[in-house]
Amino acid sequence: MEKTQPIGVFDSGVGGLTVVKSLWEHFPQEQIVYFGDTAHLPYGSHSPEQIIHFGLEIVEFLLDHTVKAVIAACNTSSSVSLSHLQEKSPVPVIGMVEPGVQAALRKTKNKRIGVLATKPTVESGAYERVFRLSDPDVQVFTQSCPLFVPLVENGRTGRRETYQIARSYLQPLQEAEVDTLVFGCTHYPFLAPVIKHIIGEGIQLVDPAKEVVSELAGILKLDGHRGETPKHLFYASGSITSFYTTGKEFLGSFPFKVQQVSLNSQVKGAPIGNRDIENEGLLHPEN
């Protein structure tokens, strides 16, 4: 493995950018190749078989870009397909569940932990399984939040209806008196201000994006080598305009350009960056 090989990251859409941001903050010298499977968004509405199929194709695409490791920056894919992806990949494939669980166990005092996730993640039972293996005394309360991903992808995080929806998802977990709450979907940290506003100070939030980067650093022995400033590559399989607009706002000064691509590696057009989107008048979508 060469130090200069890129790190592959994938998700159904912008959610995995929470991992990109953390990777970039801690290891800015590492080149990232990102795949947002916006053609199949949201993964929450697909069957486990379909999600496994998408994941295998994406890992193959990333391997064609000579990645030295892959982060499945998608809890849904991590929950239902991680072992399938690991089996097929010659490089390490790291998922979101284990890092999130370990971080939550370090934080909880009353051993009552909530997990917000997509329906396939909840139905897979992955979080319960990994929690039980690490600490059989812990009580896990999962809540599926099917409307969160479309709200995030469409940049509707601050709307009044978003608060109402979030309240209804959070109420059962508040009633269960959890003291720790895991973002069990990489899209949900985009809603952190809304969620914090509703739950207040008493419940601690866990964002597995930070944890997965430390796990990766340990596996690859990332050491902050000095090299040329990396040229990151971002691909999306479906729409790139809302992916770009929401992603750009989230990533701030990160050098961000997105290219549309199909899973058989056919690039569909020139990459879009700031200027192109401004020309299309899409940088300021109506609120």
Active site residue 185: yes
- Residue 185 touches ligand DGL, criterion: CB under 6 A: yes
Instruction: Pick the stretch among 38-46, 51-59, 126-134, 227-235 that binds ligand DGL (CB under 6 A).
Output: 38-46
Q: Exposed (0-12), middle (13-18) or buried (19+): which is 286, by Cβ within 10 Å?
A: exposed
The residue from 52, 67, 71, 74 that contacts ligand DGL (CB under 6 A) is 74
- Residue 44 touches ligand DGL, criterion: CB under 6 A: yes
* Active-site residue, selected from the candidate residues 67, 74, 103, 113: 74
Minimum CB distance to ligand DGL, residue 12 (Å): 3
91/149 with CB nearer ligand DGL: 149
41/170 with CB nearer ligand DGL: 41
Instruction: Pick the stretch among 1-9, 11-19, 83-91, 233-241 that binds ligand DGL (CB under 6 A).
Output: 11-19
* Active-site residue, selected from the candidate residues 185, 206, 216, 261: 185
Minimum CB distance to ligand DGL, residue 64 (Å): 23
Minimum CB distance to ligand DGL, residue 29 (Å): 26
- Binding mask of the shown chain, residues 197 to 216, with x at each position contacting ligand DGL by CB under 6 A: --------------------
The residue from 7, 8, 11, 261 that contacts ligand DGL (CB under 6 A) is 11
20/74 with CB nearer ligand DGL: 74
Q: Which residues contact 145 (CB under 8 A, 6 or more apart)?
A: 116, 117, 118, 165, 169, 185, 188
Angle, CA 89 vertex, CA 36 and CA 233 arms, to 5°: 35
Instruction: Pick the stretch among 81-89, 135-143, 182-190, 194-202 that binds ligand DGL (CB under 6 A).
Output: 182-190
- Residue 191 touches ligand DGL, criterion: CB under 6 A: no
187/232 with CB nearer ligand DGL: 187
Q: Which two tokens stand for residue 157?
A: 């995080």
- Residue 122 touches ligand DGL, criterion: CB under 6 A: no
Active site residue 74: yes
- Residue 22 touches ligand DGL, criterion: CB under 6 A: no
Measure Cα distances from 116 to 81, 126, 187, 205, 215 in Å.
19, 13, 11, 11, 22
Minimum CB distance to ligand DGL, residue 173 (Å): 17
- Residue 85 touches ligand DGL, criterion: CB under 6 A: no
DSSP, residue by residue, the chain: --TTS-EEEEESSGGGHHHHHHHHHH-TTS-EEEEE-GGG--GGGS-HHHHHHHHHHHHHHHHHTT-SEEEE--HHHHHHHHHHHHHH-SS-EE-SHHHHHHHHHHH-SSSEEEEEE-HHHHHHTHHHHHHHHH-TT-EEEEEE-TTHHHHHHTT-TTSHHHHHHHHHHHHHHHHTT-SEEEE-STTGGGGHHHHHHHH-SSSEEE-HHHHHHHHHHHHHT------SPP--EEEESS--HHHHHHHHHHHTTS---EEEB-TTS-B-S--B-HHHHHHTT-SS---
**Residue ranges in contact with ligand DGL by CB under 6 A:** 11-12, 15, 41-44, 74-76, 118, 121, 149, 185-187
Catalytic annotation, residues? 74, 185
